[in-house]
């Protein structure tokens, strides 16, 4: 029971570590998110009249966070498969 809990906790910590490393390495989303795409998303969510600077910052943060979660999930699953494959041999 304790071993299974420790493994689950280690997996959660490993995923958070991957997420942290990806988040720190990508940097500011204004540098790597296409501005036209970001502004289209802002206008989609908030409309043409309410697209202020604060809403733009919020949308760029959400776009960056979703991209980081997707990349961290992909890296996590790939590494877990590799670890499982190595442990079987």
> Maximum distance among all alpha carbons in the chain?
60
pTM for the full model? 0.82
CA of 73: how far to CAs of 14, 24, 63, 80, 85, in Å? 11, 16, 15, 10, 18
The span from the CA of 16 to the CA of 81, in Å, is: 18
SS3 for 81? Answer: helix
Question: pLDDT at position 38, please?
Answer: 86
Question: pLDDT at position 72, please?
Answer: 97
Question: pLDDT at position 88, please?
Answer: 87
User: E strands, the chain, where?
Assistant: none
Predicted confidence (pLDDT) per residue in 25-84, tens digit: 988 888 888 888 888 888 888 877 777 777 888 889 999 999 999 999 999 999 999 999
């Amino acid at each position: 029971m304790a071993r299974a809990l420790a493994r689950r906790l280690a997996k959660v910590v490993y995923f958070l570590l991957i997420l942290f490393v990806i988040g720190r390495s990508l940097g500011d989303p204004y540098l790597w998110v296409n501005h036209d795409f970001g502004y289209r998303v802002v206008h989609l969510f908030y409309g043409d009249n309410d697209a202020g600077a604060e809403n733009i910052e919020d949308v760029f943060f959400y776009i960056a966070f979703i991209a980081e979660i997707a990349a961290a999930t992909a890296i996590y699953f790939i590494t877990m498969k590799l670890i499982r494959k190595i442990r079987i041999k």
